[in-house]
Amino acid sequence: MREKQQLLREAADKESLATALTRYAKGLSDAFEGVPSRPEEYDPFWTGPSAGRHLARTQRVRREMADLVDACLITAENLRRRAQRLRETAARLPDPT
């Protein structure tokens, strides 16, 4: 059986990783801020096939980034739940003598 302190360290590590993932997810959300991604944002100065390719690629990357943000947030929440269970398990163990 693992020691109480080991469980608490693991819980703290999971909380720390969850916090980092949440912070990264918020940063990813802002990664494409200001990048034109709708035709009306660049039609006046950019037309033709390259504009269409840019639009398609930008929309695809934005969707992929949204999926990555969701995955980071879900993983962070799972880590927090696991950390809570570790703390609960540690609380039931006797203190080391």
Tens place of pLDDT per residue across the chain (97 aa): 579 999 999 999 999 999 999 999 999 878 777 777 777 777 777 778 888 888 888 889 889 999 999 999 999 999 999 999 999 999 999 887 6
Main-chain dihedrals φ then ψ at residue 82, nearest 5 degrees: -65, -40
Domain spans, the chain: 4-92
Q: What is the pLDDT of residue 39?
A: 72
Q: Of 82, 76, 78, which Cα lies nearest the Cα of 18?
A: 76
Residues with Cβ < 8 Å from 12, sequence gap 6 or more?
83
- Residues 79/19, Cβ–Cβ less than 8 Å: no
Q: What is the pLDDT of residue 94?
A: 87
Q: What is the pLDDT of residue 47?
A: 78
Q: What is the pLDDT of residue 1?
A: 56
DSSP conformational letter for 94: P
- Residues 65/28, Cβ–Cβ less than 8 Å: yes
